[in-house]
């Protein structure tokens, strides 16, 4: 019993090492494309491509992940002619491609034919179904348009097939015919549409109606040694010195010696079965199945992606997702802890709401809702935490705050960063975007810390700083931006190396030399003009990163 548990445990450990923290795993037959290689990969000439455009932070994308994993694993059998790719629309650098391919929501599935070239009139064929079987059958139809499925005619030469494909040992010829002419070949496509359309369309010019050849070809793709060719012309039979017979497959080896297989019934399953049986008999195996993998833990995978993003990013960014989370947390959790808003506390609350209503970094649909909240608290003379909670709930009920993950404020270890980091980020943003009276934002910040932060050390440090740099001296917007920057560095200096420091995000004198080489002169003194320029740059609304938002920029 114990041994069983131990071996089970080591098995889990074995599986969970390696690639399981990725959102998509090459062992599941899925390859991530990036913006630099996107079009080259689509242009690749030998296979069709299924591309899923996704945003891991969006609920619909997350919900579709298990089905997509099943799909991609199933599609492994078709990998000779179909590659499965994903493209991440949540990444800022990928935004341009998602926009130019007119991705309006995620997930979006598109099929691209082989040797695809971008063209505004053909941005791939959209597959709207989310059902694995339906998607597979739609793909079967789309793949059926590839050159491999082209009818073999009496002018074609089998020797050419062997010459062009060194690995091929057999060519199997499958007869497939117009329904109206030849009743036995009854197998049609998987969808009703296809079945009906084919009956009407069946004529000299467009004779392909049965899909027995196509389906046999698809079934046997896992065998490298065999290619299937489909024909619909009786006269091809005469090449092999026989007259037309139903239920007959002609199998040719490299010396063009025909061998005749007679499946029991007339459908692709039986056809493929007969050929497979022959291949097994001749000692050929299908390619190895995919290794087993564990389903992805989405939250873990996203954490991993965010941390990787920070390791590889070239310059410092400020993330919308952090601002959304700060506002969400303040309104729904932090403020509600105050039992009574009266007098100055109530006016601090109102001033804060006014700031985030006017300077809102939230999505446009939030503006009205924040206004409705502000207009309700503004007329109160007192307010309890509980009634504030109700007002917030009513006003913001239908606003979906984006994301369950801090991005710039992610912590590499539990209990660090997160909210306090996002609070700083929010107020830096507000100082930069402010068009209120000079000093208004830092006044609100000061009062917020004093009344709502519930952290004595924080209040003390703030007081200490104000002795050095009184708030009343802040007389312009620029001074306001710089005041908060200086305060933050003052506190960073005291907390550097402290147990609250996240080793992956050390407390530095901000900005770093690397992010802003011009911010210091060669005596390492600040050049405040440059610092100001830098802060206005990174914290401006226009330059916020959309990474981590459930609704990415491309389709808003
Ligand atoms: C007034 C105040 C006092 C505090 N006192 C304490 C305390 O005594 N003890 C304690 O444990 N915690 C204190 N905190 C919390 C602490 O400052 C950090 O928020 C927390 O430790 C998380 O740190 P962090 O590494 O995520 O970066 P944070 O310091 O939270 O910074 C967030 C982000 O802002 C950016 N940034 C950093 N410096 C600057 C700057 N100078 N200008 C502009 N942007 C900058 C960086 O991108 C950084 O990642 C206090 C917070 C406040 C607001
Ligand atoms: C097929 O092509 C080969 C050379 O590629 C040629 O030798 C052969 O005669 C051709 N066979 C027929 C039936 O046309
Ligand atoms: C093809 O089959 C014939 C007879 O079935 C056999 O003699 C010949 O060696 C085979 N050729 C190849 C290349 O396998
Ligand atoms: C130091 O800065 C001054 C002006 O700011 C510049 O002229 C000088 O070349 C710099 N020296 C070095 C060593 O970079
Ligand atoms: C955004 O950043 C770019 C590059 O850093 C800068 O040139 C631009 O001025 C910034 N935009 C705003 C509105 O600050």
Q: Quick one: 43 and 116 in the same domain?
A: yes
* Ligand 5 atom with minimal separation from the 537 CA: 14
Query: Which is nearest to 177 in space by CA: 249, 217, 230?
Result: 230
Q: Please identify, by atom number, the ligand 5 atom nearest to the C-alpha of residue 536.
A: 14
- Say if residue 263 is in the same domain as residue 309: no
Can you tell me the distance from the alpha carbon of 548 to that of 555, in angstroms, rounded to the nearest whole number?
A: 14
- pLDDT surpassing 70 at residue 311: yes
Q: Does residue 204 lie in a domain region?
A: yes
Cβ-contact 177, 210 below 8 angstroms: yes
Question: Considering the domain boundaries, does residue 5 fall inside one?
Answer: no
Q: Are residues 133 and 177 in the same domain?
A: no
The CA distance from 322 to 338, in Å, is 23
What pLDDT is recorded for position 193? 37
Asked if pLDDT for residue 428 goes beyond 60, the answer is yes
Ligand 3 pocket, mutate which of 257, 281, 284 (most atoms under 8 A from CB): 257
Residue 554: band (very low, low, confident or very high) from pLDDT cuts 50, 70, 90: low
Same domain, 169 and 306: no
Substitution site in 542, 544, 545, 546 for ligand 5 pocket (most atoms within 8 Å of beta carbon): 542
Boundary of a domain, candidates 254, 281, 308 = 281
Share of the chain above pLDDT 90, in %: 69
Residues 462, 387: one domain? yes
Integer CA distances (angstroms), 294 to 18, 21, 22, 23, 290, in order = 11, 10, 11, 11, 12
Ligand 3 atom nearest to 253, measured from its CA: 1
* pLDDT tens digit sequence for 74-118: 999 999 999 999 999 999 999 999 999 999 999 999 999 999 999
Q: Are residues 123 and 175 in the same domain?
A: no
Please report whether residue 553 resides in a domain: no
Separation of alpha carbons 312 and 267, rounded Å: 53
Same domain, 100 and 170: no
pLDDT digits (tens, 9 = 90+) for 11-23: 333 333 444 578 9
Cα separation, 525 vs 529, in Å, equals 12
Local structure of 120: helix, strand or coil: coil
What is the rounded distance in angstroms from the CA atom of residue 382 to the CA atom of residue 339?
11
Judged against a pLDDT cut of 70, whether residue 69 lies above it is answered with yes
Six token digits for residue 249: 């497959």
Q: Which of residues 233, 252, 281 is at a domain's end? A: 281
Q: Whose CA is nearest to atom 13 of ligand 4?
A: 522
CA distance 227 to 315: 51
Residue 516 lies in a domain: yes
Radius of gyration of the chain (CA): 32
User: Is the per-residue pLDDT at 308 higher than 50?
Assistant: yes
Residue whose structure tokens are 């990013």: 313
Q: Is 522 in the pocket of ligand 4 (CB under 6 A)?
A: yes
Domain containing 58 equals: 22-141
pLDDT given for residue 179 in this prediction: 52
pLDDT over threshold 60, residue 536: yes
Ligand nearest to the CA of 544: 5
Ligand showing the shortest atom-to-Cα distance for residue 314: 5
- How many CA atoms lie less than 13 Å away from 533 in the CB half-sphere? 11
Residue 446 near residue 423 (C-beta atoms within 8 A): no
Could you give the CA distance from residue 513 to residue 290 in angstroms, rounded to a whole number?
47
Short-list 91, 146, 202, CA closest to 545: 91
pLDDT tops 90 at residue 347? yes
Q: Does the pLDDT at position 145 exceed 70?
A: yes
- Is residue 551 situated within a structural domain? no
Residues 197 and 123 in one domain: no
Please check whether residue 288 lies inside any domain of the structure. Answer: no
At residue 439 the predicted structure's pLDDT band, cuts being 50, 70 and 90, is very high
- How remote is the C-alpha of 144 from its chain's centroid? 28
Q: Is 310 found in the same domain as 240?
A: no
Considering the domain architecture, whether residues 137 and 155 belong to the same structural domain is answered as no
* pLDDT score at 209: 56
The domain boundary residue, chosen from 106, 141, 176: 141
CATH number, position 538 = 1.20.120.310
Amino acid 388: pLDDT: 95
- Tens of pLDDT, residue by residue over 262-290, are 998 888 899 999 999 999 998 888 888 89
- For β-strands 382-384 and 249-253, DSSP reports them as unpaired
User: For residue 172, what are the CA distances in angstroms to 21, 229, 251?
Assistant: 43, 6, 4
CATH of the domain at 61: 3.40.30.10
150 Cβ neighbours under 8 A, 6+ residues apart: none
Q: Is 524 left (phi over 0), alpha (psi -120 to 50) or beta?
A: left
Confidence at residue 150, expressed as pLDDT on a 0 to 100 scale: 86
Q: State residue 322's pLDDT score.
A: 96
391 in any annotated domain: yes
Number of domains in the chain: 3
Most informative mutation of 159, 255, 258, 284 for ligand 3 (most atoms within 8 A of CB)? 255
Phi, then psi, of 547 in degrees rounded to 5: -60, 130
Most confident of 157-161, 294-298, 452-456, 458-462: 458-462
Question: What is the pLDDT confidence band of residue 187, given thresholds at 50, 70 and 90?
Answer: low
Do 307 and 274 belong together in one domain?
no
Residue 34 lies in a domain: yes
DSSP 231-258: E--THHHHHTT----SS-EEEEETT--E
pLDDT in the model for residue 148: 85
Q: Are residues 88 and 185 in the same domain?
A: no
Higher pLDDT, 336 or 6: 336
What is the per-residue pLDDT across 386-427, written as a single tens digit (0 to 9) for each?
999 999 999 998 888 887 899 999 999 888 999 999 999 999
> What's the pLDDT at 185?
40
């Amino acid at each position: 019993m114990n041994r069983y548990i131990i071996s089970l445990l080591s098995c889990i450990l074995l599986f969970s090492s390696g690639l399981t923290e990725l959102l998509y795993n090459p062992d599941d037959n899925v390859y991530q494309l990036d913006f630099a290689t996107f079009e080259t990969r689509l242009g690749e000439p030998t296979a069709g491509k299924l591309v899923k455009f996704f945003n891991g932070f969006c609920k619909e994308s997350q919900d579709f992940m298990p089905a997509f994993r099943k799909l991609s694993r199933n599609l492994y059998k078709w990998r000779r002619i179909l590659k499965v790719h994903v493209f991440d629309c949540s990444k800022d650098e990928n935004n341009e491609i998602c926009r130019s391919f007119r991705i309006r929501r995620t997930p979006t599935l598109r099929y691209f034919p082989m040797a695809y070239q971008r063209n505004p009139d053909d941005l791939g064929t959209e597959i709207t179904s989310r059902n694995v079987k339906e998607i597979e059958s739609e793909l079967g139809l789309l793949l059926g348009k590839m050159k491999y499925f082209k009818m073999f005619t009496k002018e074609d030469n089998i020797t050419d097939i062997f010459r062009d494909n060194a690995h091929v040992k057999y060519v199997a010829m499958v007869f497939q015919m117009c329904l109206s002419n030849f009743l036995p070949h009854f197998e049609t496509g998987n969808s009703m549409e296809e079945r009906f359309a084919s009956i009407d369309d069946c004529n000299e010019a467009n004779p392909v109606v049965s899909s027995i050849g196509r389906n046999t070809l698809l079934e046997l793709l896992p065998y490298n040694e065999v290619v299937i060719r489909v024909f619909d012309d009786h006269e091809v039979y005469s090449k092999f010195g026989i007259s037309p017979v139903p239920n007959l497959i002609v199998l040719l080896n490299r010396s063009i010696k025909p061998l005749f297989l007679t499946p029991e019934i007339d459908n692709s399953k039986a056809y493929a079965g007969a050929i497979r049986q022959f291949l097994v008999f001749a000692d050929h195996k299908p390619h190895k199945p995919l290794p087993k993998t564990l389903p992805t833990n989405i939250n873990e995978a996203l954490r991993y992606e965010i941390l990787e993003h920070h390791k590889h990013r070239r310059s410092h960014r400020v993330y919308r997702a952090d601002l959304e989370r700060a506002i969400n947390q303040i309104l729904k959790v932090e403020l509600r802890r105050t039992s009574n808003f009266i007098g100055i506390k109530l006016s601090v609350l109102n001033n804060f709401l006014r700031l985030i209503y006017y300077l809102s970094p939230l999505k446009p649909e939030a503006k009205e809702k924040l206004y409705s909240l502000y207009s309700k608290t503004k007329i109160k003379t007192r307010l309890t935490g509980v009634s504030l909670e109700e007002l917030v709930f009513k006003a913001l009920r239908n606003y979906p705050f984006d994301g369950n993950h801090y991005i710039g404020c992610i912590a590499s270890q539990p209990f660090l960063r997160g909210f306090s980091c996002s609070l700083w980020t929010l107020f830096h943003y507000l100082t930069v975007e402010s068009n209120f009276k000079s000093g208004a934002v830092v006044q609100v910040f000061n009062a917020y810390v004093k009344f709502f932060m519930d952290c004595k050390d924080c209040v003390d440090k703030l007081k200490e700083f104000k002795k050095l740099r009184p708030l009343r001296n802040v007389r312009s917007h620029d001074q306001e931006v710089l005041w908060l920057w200086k305060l933050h560095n003052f506190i960073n200096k005291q907390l550097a190396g402290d147990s609250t420091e996240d080793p992956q995000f050390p407390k530095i004198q901000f900005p770093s030399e690397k992010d802003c080489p011009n911010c210091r002169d060669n005596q390492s003194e600040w050049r405040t003009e440059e610092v100001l320029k830098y802060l206005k740059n990174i914290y401006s609304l226009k330059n916020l990163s959309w990474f981590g938002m459930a609704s990415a920029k491309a389709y808003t």
